[in-house]
């Protein structure tokens, strides 16, 4: 991210620090964040201004190929809808001074309603972007992706917002890829789990551009169709609320907290709310997923803890899939596995020690 933001190839970089608005909304009762935001001018700009800036820029470059990335903020906590905005899910705001982690059970209905209202407001702003593309006769020639960078927790597992443990309420987000007219034959509704890390490789593949070796993800568009069967999806969180790693493969999900050595295993098809930890009762699947996760952590640490590799611009490793570990695609019960993916992997304690050293 740092390299991207410091790139000399960006024609426009619009953010809270250089926006035209004099109003940055900062929640003063979140004292530490408020002080930091005011010092860095890094509060949040209303999404109407961001989209306004984006549409102006699109009109200025409409006669040339362009790439635009836009991050919207109103659907983040505290789920703000500006004065005069429509509040159809929760019209009366009662708890106006809730801190980032100050949600209590009795506040959940209101906060969830406010979240829905903020999503509706964001949807209106995205609609303005669509209208601009239509008005400028660009929509049929534009490849457009709309997704969310995180879900939101409302105390399902005892915490709120995001940045905490990796349960599905903070992981599951929708993803729309609007294909231009030249790719209309591939339009459709596809139901499978994937990860944001695969979006960029997918766009490159759809545009028939050369594969970029620096992407860690893999294209979801293969052999003329969308899908990613038998592909593990990895996740991680490092925050004051949690340090946790995870992997999802097909219907199963494994979570690992290195600081306490806790491992959780869930069958998402039978237990979508992740209430029943199967790890002690389902060792084979847990061991296979643990092997995948250990391999992923080892690959990442081998690269990112090596200053010589990173400084020489060596590309980071691709995320491991089943074939990389000697397993055939779709093998989760061990019946088709050519080897136990946990065999030969580094002990968890060693991975944890190297992580602490590499980030200290």
Give residue-wise pLDDT tens across range 70-108.
Answer: 999 899 888 889 888 889 998 888 877 777 678 899 999
- What integer is the mean pLDDT of 116-145? 96
Q: What are phi and psi of 226, to 5 degrees?
A: -90, 145
Predicted confidence (pLDDT) at residue 131 exceeds the cutoff of 90: yes
Lowest mean pLDDT among 191-205, 211-225, 258-272, 312-326: 312-326
- What integer is the mean pLDDT of 342-354? 33
Predicted confidence (pLDDT) at residue 163 exceeds the cutoff of 80: yes
Domain with CATH 3.30.1120.10 in the chain: 233-358
- pLDDT reported for residue 349: 34
Fold of 233-358: Arylsulfatase, C-terminal domain (3.30.1120)
Q: What is the rounded CA–CA span in Å between residue 24 and residue 36?
A: 13
- pLDDT reported for residue 91: 86
C-alpha separations of 303 from 82, 122, 278, 298, 315 in Å: 45, 38, 32, 9, 9
Lowest mean pLDDT among 2-6, 47-51, 337-341: 337-341
Lowest mean pLDDT among 11-25, 92-106, 110-124, 337-351: 337-351
C-alpha separations of 269 from 24, 135, 151, 247, 251 in Å: 43, 44, 19, 15, 6
* Nearest Cα residue to 43 out of 78, 17, 20: 17
- What digits encode the pLDDT tens for the residues 313-347? 667 767 766 665 554 433 333 333 333 433 333 33
């Amino acid at each position: 991210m740092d390299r991207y933001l410091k790139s000399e190839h960006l024609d426009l970089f619009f953010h809270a620090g250089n926006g035209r608005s004099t109003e940055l909304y900062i929640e003063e009762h979140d004292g530490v964040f408020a002080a930091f935001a005011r010092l860095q001018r890094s509060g949040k700009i209303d999404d109407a201004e961001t989209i306004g800036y984006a549409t102006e820029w699109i009109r200025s470059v409409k006669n040339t190929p362009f790439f635009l990335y836009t991050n919207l903020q109103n659907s983040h906590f505290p789920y703000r809808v500006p004065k005069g905005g429509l509040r159809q899910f929760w019209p009366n705001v009662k708890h106006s001074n809730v801190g980032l982690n100050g949600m209590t059970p009795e506040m959940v209905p209101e906060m969830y309603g406010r979240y829905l209202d903020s999503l509706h407001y964001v949807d209106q702003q995205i609609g303005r972007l669509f209208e601009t593309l239509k008005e400028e006769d660009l929509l049929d020639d534009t490849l457009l992706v709309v997704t969310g960078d995180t879900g939101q927790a409302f105390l399902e597992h005892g915490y709120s917002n995001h940045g905490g443990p990796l349960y599905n309420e903070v992981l599951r987000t929708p993803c729309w890829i609007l294909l231009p007219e030249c790719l209309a034959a591939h339009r459709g509704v596809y139901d499978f789990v994937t990860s944001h890390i695969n979006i960029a490789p997918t766009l490159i593949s759809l545009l028939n551009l050369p594969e970029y070796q620096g992407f860690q993800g893999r294209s979801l568009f293969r052999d003329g169709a969308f899908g990613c069967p038998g592909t593990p999806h990895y996740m991680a969180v490092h925050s004051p609320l949690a340090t946790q790693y995870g992997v999802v493969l097909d219907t199963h999900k494994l979570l690992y907290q290195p600081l306490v050595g806790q491992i959780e295993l869930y069958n998402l098809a039978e237990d979508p709310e992740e209430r029943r930890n199967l790890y002690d009762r389902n060792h084979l699947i847990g061991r296979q997923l643990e092997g995948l996760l250990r391999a992923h952590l080892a690959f990442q640490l081998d690269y990112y803890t090596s200053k010589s590799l990173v400084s020489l611009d060596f590309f980071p490793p691709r995320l491991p899939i089943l074939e990389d570990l000697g397993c055939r695609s779709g093998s989760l019960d061990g019946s088709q596995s050519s080897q136990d993916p946990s065999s030969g992997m580094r002990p968890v304690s060693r991975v944890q020690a190297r992580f602490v050293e590499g980030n200290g």
